[in-house]
Amino acid sequence: MVEEIILRPVGIVKSELKEPSLTEDSGDLSKARIDEALRKRERKIRNLISEIIIDDKFDGILDGIEDFSHILVLYWAHETKGENRNLIKVHPMGRKDLPLVGVFATCSPVRPNPVLVTAVKLVERNGNVLKVQGFEAIDGSPVIDIKPYNPHYYLVRNVKLSGWMKKIQREYARKQKL
């Protein structure tokens, strides 16, 4: 097995979001409920315009990206401290009513390598700055890669979800209607 991998950030996120929605708390995730505060945050993120500033040393690396409406952004959850990256099992979203599962069965930022990915709308490119909509990364998050979103390449049919994930989605959809 490879002993170490070194990643170089290619840029940084500038955002109004200053705190992550999930963190480690006493060997599990902090509790995140689908309540009004969380729905407000999710609505804010959906409409939020953030900037991804690519380091000047990568001049030309964004050429052609403006021809796409959406991009995938891989970034490092830098607020996940090293000692919190040892969790093996968590309750999804910190909810004790959901089963204890392996971290790799969740999208939690608390993981051995806190690499996260989000599909966002590309609003505008201005030189080495991308304005994007719907990005959940917090201010200062290092960006490690960007890829154009291609629905034909990423299209997956007959997707199976766990029971707890379906429960979260049903609760969220029900709360959205209120």
Model confidence pLDDT, tens digit, residues 125-141: 999 999 999 999 999 99
DSSP type of residue 37: H
| The pLDDT of residue 154 | 85
Hey, what are 98's tokens?
């959901």
| The pLDDT of residue 41 | 63
Distance CA 12, CA 139 (A): 8
- pLDDT tens string, the chain, 178 residues long: the values are 888 899 999 999 999 988 776 555 545 556 554 445 556 667 777 889 999 999 999 999 999 999 999 999 999 988 876 666 788 898 888 888 999 999 999 988 888 888 999 999 999 999 999 999 999 999 999 999 999 999 988 888 899 999 999 998 888 777 666 6
DSSP type of residue 163: H
| The pLDDT of residue 64 | 98
Domains of the chain (ranges; CATH) run: 11-152 (2.40.30.70)
| The pLDDT of residue 36 | 52
Distance CA 118, CA 114 (A): 13
Distance CA 39, CA 35 (A): 6
CB count in 10 Å sphere of residue 134: 17
